[in-house]
Structure 1
Amino acid sequence: MITTEPNISGKFLIKGIWIEAQQTANVINPANINEVVGRVALCTEQEVKDSIESAENAYQTWKLTSLEDRANRMIAAAEELQKIVEENVSLYVRENGKPLVEAKKDLLRCVDIMKQGAEELFIWSASESLPGAQKVMVRKRPRGVAAIIMPWNSPLILTFKRVVPAILTGNTVVVKPATNCPLALMTFLQVVSSYFPAGVINVVTGSGALIGDILCTDPRIRTVAFVGSTETGKDIIRKSASTVKKMYMELGGNDPAIILEDAVMDEQAITKLRMGILKAAGQVCSAIKRVYVHESRYDEVVSKLTKEFQHIYVGNGIQPDAMMGPLNNKKQFEYVSGLIERAKASGAQVNTVGIKLDPETWDQGYFMLPSIVTGVNQQSEIVREEQFGPVIPILPFKTVEEVIEMANDTEYGLRASVWTENEELAVSLADRLEAGAVFHNNHTIFQDLHLDFPGAKESGLSRETRHCGMEYFSDSYGFAN
């Protein structure tokens, strides 16, 4: 296990130089809160402004580079990054909490995103001729400096899905990682940034309020990409309005899984359901947050899912046997614990199961066994709120009309899933569900990383993409003659 601090610890990146911060905060291992994994820089107001200036200056020349040059740099960086994946898995586990298998997948997907982006760049860039009396061509160009403000739950994938298309399309970026979990991400960005001109990638860390205010109000920032809570997203939108920035927002979710009367709930299906709920200890915006089961199958599904949860080993993600790690931080741990306690107080049945991998050190981390909650209704707090933890309410329903109404009865609309053997019915229900994407007999991610679909309602802003998100960081303009 790597126990020394990474070389980016306590530093930030401006103009191609990693600068030692005057003030830092500790990054804590959520599986052992007494372990300091490294330090995160607390950037000042002037340093954040310097990062924007660095990006703005670099943009003037970077926007003029050829597509071939950008793609070649990205591919070279991806190949170099692939060499250091294995040695950085433990760092990521120690600051984030995910088990080894999940953590390694995250790191490898960053490499895949880079390679796919380089390939997709040439498809995205092709000009389009519009039909009509006048010859009009639609062409594409970068917008300028993009601010990329990222969360702690899946920081690498979410950041790379924004940094990669932004710089490939000719923009420059200022990245603001989460202070809870910045180290593996910054280690990766250190490698990637070395393949691009100074100032194309800048990284600042510290107070979300201070850095966010500057990035959102500075007129040199033309695009803001944010992943996080809906309330914070609304605040960012308000602050960005004065300079009419383009907003790419992936916000909260309260995803329903609807299990119909004819669904096959065999071992494979229950495993998929469990993974849709408990991946990253439930700390995934697109994870299943509510399960609705037809009343004729309710007891069966509750029983099968309970047995599935009983076999979950919870512990330090660095241990190979850990199937689920801790929650990432104290605030989230206390929030989820509060939800569970209030559910019990309201009369709900909370069945907490699973296996403590190391009972002796359990209280040294933010560990939580998975819980299934029954005896709740549509208005229960634990049903209406985004839990973002290893706890799942299960509710019965009688009719399709009833369950569609319950599934849509939320301000969120990120993802949903329909479990049935009738594909035609699944499609018809998907058309009625208010969600950015609906999965059939599964609840997962798109295997093709160049695809993405935003959330509906208060779960996001943007549109679907077929080009690794390049549309979010570019403008189309018309050329007519």
Structure 2
Amino acid sequence: MTSTTDTAAPVTTGLYIGGRERRAGQTLEIADPGKPGAVVGHAAAASADDVDDAVAAAKAAFPAWAALTAEQRADTMRAALEGIAEHRDEDAAVLSRENGKIRMEAWVDSLVFEIRWNLALALAAEVDATKVLPPAPGIPVSTTVAYQPLGVVTVIVPFNWPIAILAASLPHALLAGNTAIVKPPPTAPLATTRVVQRIAEKLPPGVLNVVTGKDADMSALISSPDVAKVCFTGSVAGGKRIMEMASKALTRVTLELGGNDAAVILADAILDDTHLDRLYAAIFDTTGQICMNAKRIYVHRSRLDEVVDGLAARLERAVIGYGLNEGTTMGPLHSPAQKEFVAGLIEEATAAGADVREYGTLPEDPELRGGNFLRPALVIDPDPSLRVVTEEQFGPVIPLLPFDTEDEAVEAANATWAGLCGSVWTADPATANRVGARLVCGYVWVNDHGATRLDLRAPFGGMKQSGMGREQGIEGVRAFQDTRSIAHLQPEDAAGS
């Protein structure tokens, strides 16, 4: 694994299996989304045999790791995290180059990993908890209910916040007593691989492994009968494929999938600079490429102009450019395909007669010409049937839809395939609780929204096609455990049997 402070130098990463770094016969070439033709580095492309070896290594390490107490595992994991901050600047530079997002967000990506890891370790005292069911009429046994780990877990993360998202599940899986294989995103694997390998090197061999490569060669990470669970974060289509593959061995899954989050801005909403800054970040952080970003803004008709003007003023100050350049506030989209998709949504809304307003200036640097840059846009009062409303944009465009009544807003917010997150903007806490309770989604903010505002202690996950299962908190640990009940016959009953 190369280590350099030169942000322009190519980065090379290998596989890490069973406590050893391993090269592969082929590599993945990692493109820079902001600089056409530029190569950030190369990641090892695991073969099917490499993947089988990773599963075997994790399986072999499982009995000894599972035999430790949760407190013992937590101590080992705490030591493994030491020094992560020393590499944060370098990791952020690598992630910005391969992902496209601005340096600050890439830096926070690694910071959130550390925070989530430590929050998981704080749960160690609860992991091995048991309860006893005393004898009852007709039930002559005393039953102890305890938790046990599942076995080998595969964790698959997406390109947008790969390091932070990894820590929503990986430390919980390890703390619960499982061993793990991490699969970073094939288009942006370098920074994630670097972070995971540093930690894996400080854990017993095989407890934590990392493999990168083409999805076609990764199937055993999902379909192998030796894999007990797959935790996947990504698109709805990707989640359906994972679930289908896992079904062959009845492998369990946690799926954190796409969102079409509604922000409901009521008539009494506070729309000062602080709240408008929050709303803007909720929409446009990571150039709109976050599953829990606000994707539909429902605004009481009396406040529509204020919201439009507030967002427009902030978009006019946006600096579209290369993620590592000083002053850049909005980087490129990650892939040419996503740029084309989002541009298509804007063109369709324009052709349908919606009020579409674009902002900012594309970079003029010749080195960036042809990069995945796109001007952000507001789509005001579009037809609700347009794709910019019904589909997850995953880019810097947002529809703003006026409403007249609370019931109308809630019905529109819930009329979607998704159920990841939502938000209610109001000055009245009672109204916030009432409306929030009516939103069909897994997480609701009040007067706020977005990934950077997530309570990292709370369970997180979606409803409907936004996924199944929960991450974070003790619920996230229990997702990687199963119960075991041991029933003891009472002495008098045992003697008479």
User: Where does 1:351-430 land on structure 2 (aligned, <5 Å)?
Assistant: 351-356=357-362, 358-430=364-436
Query: Which of 70, 73, 82 is residue 70 of structure 1 equivalent to?
Result: 73
In structure 1, C-alpha distance between the alignment counterparts of 2:479 and 2:329, rounded to whole Å: 35
5 Å matches for 1:310-349? 310-349=316-355
Structure 2: which amino acid aligns with 1:318?
Answer: L
Deviations for 1:248-268, whole angstroms, at most 9, x for unmatched residues?
Answer: 110110000111111111111
- Cα RMSD between the aligned structures? 1.8
Report the counterpart of residue 11 of structure 1 in structure 2.
14
Partner residue, 1:473: 480
CA gap 1:20/1:218 in 2 versus in 1, 3 angstroms? same
Q: Which runs of 5+ in 2 are unaligned?
A: 1-5, 489-497
Q: Is the 8 A contact 1:10 1:41 kept in 2?
A: yes
- Equivalent position to 2:105, from 102, 105, 128: 102
- Aligned residue pairs total 478
2:249 maps to what in 1? Answer: 243
204 and 382 in structure 1: CA distance in 2 versus 1, 3 angstrom threshold: same
> SS where residue 296 of structure 1 aligns?
helix
SS at match of 1:52: helix
> Helix, strand or coil: the match of 2:169?
helix
Provide the TM-score with structure 2 as the length reference: 0.92
Question: Is 2:194 the partner of 1:182?
Answer: no
- Are the counterparts in 1 of residues 339 and 372 from structure 2 also a CA contact under 8 Å? yes
Residue 318 of structure 1: how far off its partner (Å): 0.7
Pick from 288, 291, 298 the counterpart of residue 285 of structure 1.
291
Q: Which residue of 1 aligns with 2:457?
A: 450
1:60 aligns with 2:63: yes
The amino acid across from 2:447 in the alignment is N
| 1:450/1:468 contact within 8 Å kept | no
Distance 2:378 2:200 in 1: 44
Per-residue CA deviation, residues 338-381 of structure 1 (Å, 9 max, x unaligned), is 22122222222221102446555442421122110124122111
The list of structure 1 runs, each at least 4 consecutive aligned residues, that deviate by more than 4 angstroms after superposition, is 355-362
User: Any idea what the Cα deviations from partners look like across 1:68-91, whole Å, max 9, x if unmatched?
Assistant: 331122111222212221232211
- The 1:448/1:431 distance shift into structure 2, 3 A limit, reads closer
Kept in 2: contact 1:150–1:158 (CA 8 A): yes
How far did residue 19 of structure 1 move?
1.3
Q: Which residue of 2 aligns with 1:34?
A: 37
> How far apart are residue 474 of structure 1 and its match?
1.0
Question: Which amino acid is the alignment partner of residue 233 of structure 1?
Answer: G
The amino acid of 2:326's aligned partner reads: P
Number of the residue aligned with 1:136: 143
Larger Rg belongs to: 2
Query: How far apart are the structure 2 equivalents of 1:428 and 1:237?
Result: 34
Aligned-residue sequence identity (percent) comes to 36
Go from structure 1 to structure 2 and tell me whether the alpha carbon gap of 1:4 and 1:463 turns closer, same or farther (over 3 Å shift). closer
- Cα shift readout 1:36-78 (whole Å, capped 9, x = no counterpart): 1111222222221121111111112221123333112211122
What amino acid does structure 1 have at the position aligned with 2:466? S
Partners of 1:468 and 1:112 in 2: how far apart? Answer: 17
- Output the amino acid matched with 1:396: P
Q: 1:314 to 1:132 in 2, by over 3 A?
A: farther
Contact 2:46 2:217 in 1 (8 A): no
> What is the rounded CA distance, in whole Å, between the counterparts of 1:236 and 1:357 in structure 2?
38
The amino acid across from 1:24 in the alignment is T
Is residue 120–residue 472 contact of structure 2 (8 Å, CA) maintained in 1?
Answer: no
Structure 1 unaligned blocks of 5 or more: none
Q: Distance in 1 between matches of 2:472 and 2:182?
A: 22
SS at match of 1:281: helix
Q: Show CA shifts across 1:410-461 (max 9, x none).
A: 1100000011111111111111111101110000245542322211111011
Q: What SS class does the counterpart of residue 33 from structure 1 fall into?
A: coil
